[in-house]
Amino acid sequence: MPEGHVAHRLANNLSKTFGSRIVQVSSPQGRFATEAAELRGKRFCEAESVGKHLFLRFDAQPESLVHIHLGLIGSLRIGKPGETLFPTGNQSTTRLRIQTDAAIAELRGPQWCRLVDEDVLTAVCTDLGPDPLRSDADPQRAWDRMRKTQRSIGAVLMDQRVFAGVGNIFRAEVLFRARIHPERVASQLHRREFDEVWNDLVGLMSDALVTGRIDTIDESHSPTAMGREPRQDRHGGEVYVYRRENQPCFVCGRPIHAAQRDGRKVYWCERCQRR
């Protein structure tokens, strides 16, 4: 289950594992079987990521492009042949399998896994806002969009046309760290607050890209500094507010709030984050 760092990690890992190699492609689950047949025996060229989107490029007559989006529940794992990538899962749920003698990758439950042409990749890129994980990102585009919206900063951070790759965890955490209430109208942020949010996204997401987990707690509030037990959420990291409803804030001790907004749960500290 992915925010942008997962897509970028997968792209790096897939390129390293399968790059320039002839691969076997199949679809045990069947939904990608026709396409897998077209890809069989082709050379895996490289994987690219933008926001939460993943593109796999296959070489030679004709060139093929696979567009993958994991959605809420999809996952893609890479390992060695014979290794059990999904310990509890059923083989017949594997939408896409890529393998060589040395490695295997399996994809389950993706929102999208489809063959596309180059125009789709271009369209996806132009529709997305700047991606904090890409060095070519232009944060000014996000700022310009924020200036002319009536929506809350909490809603805007989840809008991929404004910030590509940001999801529910980074939204909650970056707003807590900047002490900004998620209901604050986005257009009323000061430029210095926007810069702080953007720079923090770059830092947090880059760390997550390296470690494969989301850790957002400052040294000064670390378990050691605060004399509490380290705690990890399912995503594997330690955070201030995400999924900590009713638990004490690590900074002020008051219970963390949560509410449903646009179909997703938002988490914040009413005392630490000012409206």
Catalytic residues: 2-3, 52, 264
182 binds DNA (CB under 7 A): no
Decide whether 45 or 142 has the Cβ nearer to DNA. Answer: 142
262 near DNA, rule: CB under 7 A: yes
Check: CB of residue 187 under 8 Å from CB of residue 146. yes
Q: Which stretch binds DNA (CB under 7 A): 37-45, 97-105, 183-191, 256-264?
A: 256-264
Per CB under 7 A, 67 contacts DNA: no
3-class state of residue 7 by DSSP: helix
Q: How far apart are CA 76 and CA 74, in angstroms?
A: 7
Rule CB under 7 A: choose which of 42, 108, 177, 181 binds DNA. 108
**Joined tokens for residue 97:** 């399998």
- Is 7 within 8 Å of 49 (Cβ atoms)? yes
- Give the number of other CB atoms < 10 A from CB of residue 150: 8
Should residue 95 be labelled a site residue for DNA when binding is judged by CB under 7 A?
A: yes
**185 binds DNA per the rule CB under 7 A:** no
- Please tell me whether residue 21 binds DNA under the rule CB under 7 A: no
- Does 109 participate in binding DNA (rule CB under 7 A)? yes
Q: How many residues does the chain have?
A: 275
Q: Are 16 and 47 in contact (CB under 8 A)?
A: no
The residues, any chain, with a CB within 8 Å of residue 235's CB and separated by 6 or more, are 1, 169, 213, 214
Cβ nearer to DNA, comparing 2 with 139: 2
Residues lying near DNA in the complex (CB under 7 A):
1-3, 6, 29, 51-52, 69, 71-75, 86-90, 93, 95, 108-109, 111, 158, 160, 167-169, 214, 234-236, 242-243, 262-265
